[in-house]
Amino acid sequence: MAKILGTQTDISPIAEEPGLRPGRRALGLRAKLAVLALLAVASVGVYLGVSPSRTTDAQRISYLESIVKCPNCISVSTKDANSASAFALRTFITQMVHQGASNSQIIDQLVATYGPSVLLVPPGSNGGRALAGAGIVLVLGIPLGGLLYYRRRARRPAPEPEDSPSSSAGGEPLGASPKREASEGPGRIRSALGSASLAQKLVGTAGVLLILSGGGLLAYGALSKPSTALSPGEIATRLSAAEQLAAVGSDTQALQLFSSVLAADPRQPEALAWNGWLLRQAGRKDNSKALLAAGIAQMRQSVTIEPAYLYGRLFYGISLYQDSHDAKGAVEQFRAYLALSPPKSLTNQVKPTIDAAFAAAKLPAPL
């Protein structure tokens, strides 16, 4: 009896070692996997939440341009067409996206103007939702799947030791079991840990890859953000060139330059006035309410930002009279325009429109 008690006393330190307790080991594995899952989800969440919206906006703009047909073309997208109407639509799409409009809102406006035939591809067919769903499944499924695997593994009953007192045969004295436990125990422990470690490494590697992917995408988005900064001199040069192009009817090239200025400074009053005027012209030509509304909004913004810019006053006044049929509003803009001492040659060109607006408002002509 003393020998048996001594044997139990000798074995007890081995039994209480953390490596021999499967419950404690499983608890540690579950904790590690839970942390790994949280890190993986957090890394991708951080990328989706704080990555530059410019990248996502560019993808949306490219997609919308590829499914919207050029108004005066046959089965050609606005992305591939070179006409002024196509570029006006591209400008409209870009500005609506940057203003926060959703794809469906932009498409609805275009369909309301041109009809369903303006779409080359049905909306929502680019598989974006499916790809997003697959990404979520991968991000959440791999770590959680590993966690469930280890939880199931931890619940399995521990195997009965072959040399326990209940299974010992009478031919072998119990006193010999400590040596056998000491020699075979570490082997069984290493086997169990080795098996768990292999599966853990697989899940851990997948989780680490997800974390690195999230960080990498975040870094790529930050580094690949297109630079739109322009110096004051560059802005002045582009505005001058764009106004000259617009004066000779090169609306597409003018819109490109005005749009580049607005990308650098969305509140640049000259670019707003001219870009809005060209969008308004394209909207009237194609009978597009969406382009017309976008152009009027930019001209109104130009007047609000810089009341002393004479082209902003002139363009907005003409639009109020001809598009909105607001003679009183037009008269207010024309009076502000005339107060800025505009060139006589320009005033002579627009005199018939100004006189008509004053007459519609039942006021004497100012000229």
Res 169: pLDDT: 47
Which among 172, 201, 226 is the end of a domain?
Answer: 226
Per-residue pLDDT tens digits for 14-46:
444 454 455 555 556 666 666 666 666 666 565
pTM above 0.75, yes or no: no
Domain that holds residue 270: 232-360
Segment holding 264, helix H or strand E:
helix 251-264
Res 58: pLDDT: 84
All residues at 6 or more sequence positions from 339 whose CB lies less than 8 Å from its CB, including other chains: none
Task: Please say whether the beta carbons of 307 and 321 come within 8 A.
Answer: no
Fill in the amino acid letter for 359.
Answer: A
Residue 12 belongs to some domain of the structure:
no
d(CA 124, CA 150): 39
Per-residue pLDDT tens digits for 57-90:
888 888 898 898 887 777 788 888 877 778 888 8
Domain with residue 315: its CATH number is 1.25.40.10
Give how many domains the chain has, as a whole number: 2
Weakly modelled stretches of the chain, pLDDT under 70: 1-55, 121-228
Res 136: pLDDT: 55
Shared-domain flag, residues 255 and 222: no
What is the full DSSP assignment across 173-225? -GGGHHHHHHHHHHHHHHHHHHHHHHHHHHHHHHHHHHHHHHHHHHHHHHHSP
Fill in the amino acid letter for 139.
Answer: V
Shared-domain flag, residues 41 and 131: yes
Res 329: pLDDT: 97
Shared-domain flag, residues 24 and 146: yes
Res 350: pLDDT: 95
Shared-domain flag, residues 334 and 216: no
